[in-house]
C-alpha cells in the first residue's frame, strides 16, 4: 500500500464535513472492466460485435481483456479495501447471466455471487447496476431496444438476478444512462449497436424507460427489508451563451431532450410537453407509447443516481428550424458551442458549480428525492513517473472541486446521500478505447499492473475523514 498525501490536505484552509453515513464509493461497468468475454459461458453482447466493426473504436480497441476484472476481482477488491471504500458500484453483464438474453446461466450468476461475497467479506457495500449498455447480441438481432419485447426480457433478467443475489445485495440500480444507450446507440451511432436513426432512438429511449419500470415491478415484488432501488441518469445542464428569450429557448431545447425527457416520466410527470413538441416531427415516440406505460415507468424509486461530468454550452440559430450541430433527436434552431475554461483530456469543461445547481434543481424538481452522485470524475493524461508513482494533480483538483460542489448542494438542502467516483480503474472508454483514463487507480494494460494514483490517496483520505478540504 502506497503512502503519501497529495499536497492539497496540507494546504487546506479548513475542511467541509459530510453527513454521517454518507455513502462513499467507486463505480465501474461490466464491459469496461471485465474482459473474459468468451469465458464462463458468457454470450456475445452488442459491444463485442460493435468493437469488431472497422473504424468504430479508437485504435481498434475492444473489451476482450479490458482490466481483466473478471479474473482479478479479488485483487481489485483488496485495493478497494486498502482505500477504505465503503461501496463499490459495478454492473452485471446480462449476456454473462443470460447468454442469449433469455436463458439463465448458473455459471454467470455464480461469478457475481463470488464478487459480491468478496466485497461483503471486506465490508464493502455492493451497489449493483443491472444494465450498463451491454445488451445480449441475440436480443439486438430481434430488434434490440427498438423492440418492446426487450423491456419484458429485461424485467425477467432483473427478477433472475434479484432471485440469485437478493439475499446479499441491498442497493440496486436498473439502468445506467438510458440517454446513451438510446441516443448514442440508435441515434448518433457512436455506441453499440451503431444505428443512426433518430426515430429509432426515441423508440429505444421509451423502451429503456419501460424496461426500468417493468423491472421495478419485479424487484419490488421480491424486495427484502433494507433494499433500495434506483435508476441512474446522466445530466448535462445547458448553459445559455447570452441573455434574452432566444438563448433561453436554446437552453430549454437542450435541457429538454437531454435531461427532462428521461427524468420526468420516472417522476410521474410524463414526457414533458415542450419536448414532445420538439420531437414530434421525428416520429418513433408516440407510436411506441401504449396505455399504461407511463404508470409503469413512474414506479417510485428510492434514490436517483446522478451522473455528472460537465455542462453543455448552447446558442440559438437565426432560423428556429435550421438543423443543429448536435445529433440529439429533434434538436433544431440551436447549436452546441465549444467548451470553455479548463478542460479535461476528453475536452469536457470543468464547471463544478453546475453540479451544485443541478443537485439543487433536482432536489426541487423531484420534491426532495434522495440523490446519489453515481458517477463523477475526469480523464487526464496520466503517466507513471520515475518514482513509479502517478501524480495526477488535475484529477485531485477536479475531485476536490466537485466534492465541494456536492457539499454546497447539501448545505443548500439537497438530500445527497452518496458519491461514487468514476472510475475505480482506468478502463475501456467506449468509442475512445483505452485512450481516456478515468481511474483513480492506474492500469497498465500490457501487464495489468494496478498502481494507486495520487487521486486515489486523496480520495482515501476524504473517505477516512468524511470531509473534503475547504479550499487551498
Residues of this chain, 432-451, that bind ligand IFM according to CB under 6 A: 438
Which residue lies nearer to ligand IFM by CB, 8 or 420?
Answer: 420
Q: What is the DSSP string of 146-202?
A: GSTHHHHHHHHHHHHHHHHHTTT--EEEEEE-HHIIIIIIIIS-SSTT----HHHHH
Shortest distance in whole angstroms from residue 254 CB to ligand IFM: 18
Is 140 marked active-site? no
Active-site pick, 118, 140, 357, 375: 375
CA dihedral 376, 181, 212, 300 (to 10 degrees): 40
Q: How far apart are CA 409 and CA 47, in angstroms?
A: 36
Distance (Å, whole) CA 61 – CA 115 = 26
Q: How far is the CB of 309 from ligand IFM (least distance, A)?
A: 6
Contacting residue, 118, 375, 426, 461, with ligand IFM by CB under 6 A: 375
356 within 8 A of 288, measured Cβ to Cβ: no
Nearer to ligand IFM, 93 or 296 (CB): 93
Instruction: Decide if residue 118 touches ligand IFM (CB under 6 A).
Output: no
In whole angstroms, how close is the CB of 428 to ligand IFM at the nearest point? Answer: 8
Cβ closest to ligand IFM, residue 66 vs residue 285: 66
Of the candidates 133, 125, 173, the one whose C-alpha atom is nearest the C-alpha of residue 22 is: 125
The yes or no reply on residue 129 touching ligand IFM (CB under 6 A) is no
Count of positions on this chain that bind ligand IFM (CB under 6 A) = 9
Q: Which of residues 7-36 bind ligand IFM (CB under 6 A)?
A: 29, 32
DSSP string, 86-130: SEEEEE--HHHHSTTSSS--HHHHHHHHHHHHHHHHTT-EEEEEE
Site for ligand IFM in 291-320 (CB under 6 A): 307
449 vs 16, 72, 79, 445, CA distance in Å? 34, 10, 12, 8
Q: Of 9 and 428, which CB lies nearer to ligand IFM in the complex structure? A: 428
C-beta of 32: minimal distance to ligand IFM in Å?
6
User: Least Å distance between CB 188 and ligand IFM?
Assistant: 14
Whether the Cβ atoms of residue 456 and residue 441 lie closer than 8 Å to each other:
yes
Q: Is residue 379 a contact partner of residue 436, using CB atoms and an 8 Å limit?
A: yes
Q: Over the range 344-379, which residues count as b (16 or more CB within 10 Å of their CB) and which as e?
A: bbbebbbbbebbbbbbbbbbeebeebbbbbbbbbbb
Report the residue number, 29 or 362, with the smaller CB distance to ligand IFM: 29
Q: Among 34, 76, 177, 357, which residue interacts with ligand IFM (rule: CB under 6 A)?
A: 177
Q: Give the nearest distance from C-beta 417 to ligand IFM in angstroms.
A: 20
For residue 22, the cross-strand partners are none
CA nearest to 403, candidates 440, 356, 454: 356
Instruction: State which of residues 68, 429, 454, 461 lies at the interface with ligand IFM (CB under 6 A).
Output: 429
Shortest Å, Cβ 201 to ligand IFM: 17
Q: Which residue of the set 118, 140, 177, 349 is catalytic? A: 177
Tell which one of 398, 422, 434, 458 touches ligand IFM (CB under 6 A): 422
7 assigned to active site: no
Q: Which residues bind ligand IFM (CB under 6 A)?
A: 29, 32, 177, 234, 307, 375, 422, 429, 438
Active site residues: 177, 375
Amino acid at each position: 500500500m502506497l503512502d503519501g498525501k497529495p499536497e492539497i490536505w496540507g494546504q487546506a484552509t479548513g475542511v467541509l464535513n459530510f453527513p454521517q453515513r454518507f455513502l462513499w464509493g467507486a463505480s465501474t461497468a461490466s464491459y469496461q472492466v471485465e474482459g473474459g468475454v468468451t469465458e464462463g459461458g458468457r454470450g456475445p453482447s452488442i459491444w463485442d460485435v460493435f468493437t469488431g466493426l472497422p473504424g468504430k473504436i479508437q485504435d481498434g480497441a475492444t473489451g476482450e481483456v479490458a482490466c481483466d476484472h473478471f479474473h482479478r476481482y479479488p485483487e481489485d477488491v483488496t485495493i478497494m479495501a486498502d482505500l477504505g471504500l465503503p461501496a463499490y458500484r459495478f454492473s452485471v453483464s446480462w449476456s454473462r447471466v443470460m447468454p442469449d438474453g433469455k436463458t439463465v446461466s448458473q455459471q454467470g450468476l455464480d461469478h457475481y455471487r463470488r464478487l459480491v461475497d468478496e466485497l461483503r467479506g471486506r465490508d464493502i457495500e455492493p451497489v449493483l447496476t443491472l444494465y450498463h449498455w451491454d445488451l445480449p447480441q441475440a436480443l439486438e438481432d430481434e430488434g434490440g431496444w427498438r423492440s418492446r419485447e426487450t423491456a419484458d426480457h429485461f424485467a425477467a433478467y432483473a427478477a433472475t438476478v434479484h432471485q440469485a443475489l437478493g439475499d446479499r445485495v441491498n442497493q440496486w440500480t436498473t439502468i445506467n444512462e438510458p440517454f446513451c444507450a438510446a441516443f448514442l446507440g440508435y441515434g448518433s451511432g457512436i455506441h453499440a449497436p451503431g444505428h443512426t436513426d433518430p426515430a429509432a432512438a426515441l423508440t429505444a429511449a421509451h423502451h429503456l424507460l419501460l424496461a426500468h419500470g417493468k423491472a421495478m415491478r419485479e424487484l419490488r415484488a421480491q424486495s427484502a427489508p433494507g433494499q433500495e432501488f434506483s435508476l441512474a441518469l446522466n445530466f448535462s445542464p445547458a448553459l445559455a451563451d447570452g441573455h434574452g428569450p432566444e438563448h433561453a429557448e436554446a437552453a430549454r431545447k437542450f435541457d429538454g431532450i437531454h435531461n427532462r425527457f428521461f427524468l420526468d416520466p420516472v417522476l410521474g410527470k410524463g414526457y414533458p410537453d415542450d419536448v414532445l413538441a420538439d420531437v414530434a416531427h421525428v416520429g418513433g415516440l408516440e407510436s411506441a407509447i401504449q396505455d399504461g406505460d407511463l404508470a409503469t415507468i413512474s414506479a417510485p424509486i428510492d434514490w436517483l443516481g446522478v451522473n455528472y461530468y460537465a455542462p453543455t454550452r448552447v446558442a440559438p440559430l437565426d432560423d428556429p428550424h435550421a438543423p443543429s450541430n448536435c445529433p440529439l433527436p429533434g434538436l433544431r434552431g440551436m447549436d452546441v458551442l465549444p467548451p470553455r475554461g479548463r478542460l479535461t483530456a476528453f475536452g469536457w469543461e470543468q464547471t463544478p458549480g453546475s453540479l451544485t445547481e443541478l443537485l439543487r434543481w433536482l432536489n426541487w424538481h423531484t420534491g426532495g428525492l434522495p440523490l446519489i452522485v453515481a458517477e463523477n470524475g475526469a480523464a487526464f493524461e496520466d503517466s507513471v513517473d520515475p518514482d513509479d508513482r502517478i501524480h495526477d494533480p488535475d484529477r485531485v483538483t477536479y475531485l476536490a472541486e466537485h466534492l465541494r460542489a456536492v457539499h454546497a448542494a447539501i448545505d443548500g438542502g439537497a438530500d445527497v446521500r452518496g458519491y461514487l467516483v468514476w472510475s475505480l480503474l482506468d478502463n475501456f472508454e467506449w468509442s475512445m478505447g483505452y485512450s481516456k483514463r478515468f481511474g483513480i487507480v492506474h492500469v497498465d494494460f500490457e501487464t495489468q499492473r494496478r498502481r494507486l494514483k495520487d487521486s486515489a490517496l486523496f480520495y482515501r483520505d476524504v473517505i477516512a475523514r468524511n470531509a473534503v478540504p475547504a479550499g487551498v
